[in-house]
Amino acid sequence: MPKMVTIGAAPGYKPDGKGTEKALQIKAYGLIKDKGNLVVSYQTAIQNIRNSKGMYELKEAKAAPVAVVEMKLEDRSLDELKVMMLSLGVKTEKQMSKTDVIMLIQKKLDEVEITEDEE
C-alpha cells in the first residue's frame, strides 16, 4: 500500500498572474480552500504540489502522544527478570524464588546513580 499523506491549501499563497490569469488562479485557490484537506498517495501529493504552483502544501500528520508506562518488577515475566539479572551482573543460583530475584535486581538498580549532564 502506498504511503498516504495529507495535502491542503497553502495559507501563504499569492497569485502571480496578471489579468484573467490572476482571476483564474484566485478562483482555483478558492476551490482548493473550499475542498479542505485531502488524503492522497505521496506521489500524487508531490505532483499536485508541483502543478499547483504553490496552492497546495503538505500538512503535518499529528501523531498521537505516546504514553510512557513504567512496568514494575513484579509485573515482568520470568524471562525478562532473567535477562535483567544477567545484564546487571547478579550472581544466580540454580533455583531462586521470584521474590528473591526481584529483591536482588532492585538492590542492584538502587546502587546505580544517574546524574544530569552539565552543558
6-57 residue pLDDT tens: 999 988 888 887 888 888 888 989 998 998 888 999 899 889 889 888 889 9
Supply the pTM of this predicted model: 0.47
The answer to whether the beta carbons of residues 52 and 60 sit under 8 Å apart is no
Confidence at residue 73, expressed as pLDDT on a 0 to 100 scale: 87
Confidence at residue 69, expressed as pLDDT on a 0 to 100 scale: 76
Q: Which residue has the cell 489579468?
A: 19
Cell of 7: 495535502
Percentage of the chain modeled with pLDDT above 90: 9
User: What is the spatial distance between Cα 78 and Cα 4, in angstroms, rounded to a whole number?
Assistant: 41
Confidence at residue 61, expressed as pLDDT on a 0 to 100 scale: 64
Amino acid at 92: T
Edge-to-edge strands, sheet with 38-41: 38-41, 4-9, 56-59
Least confident stretch, 39-48, 54-63, 90-99: 54-63
pLDDT reading at 64 higher than 70: no
Confidence at residue 14, expressed as pLDDT on a 0 to 100 scale: 86
User: What is the spatial distance between Cα 11 and Cα 32, in angstroms, rounded to a whole number?
Assistant: 11
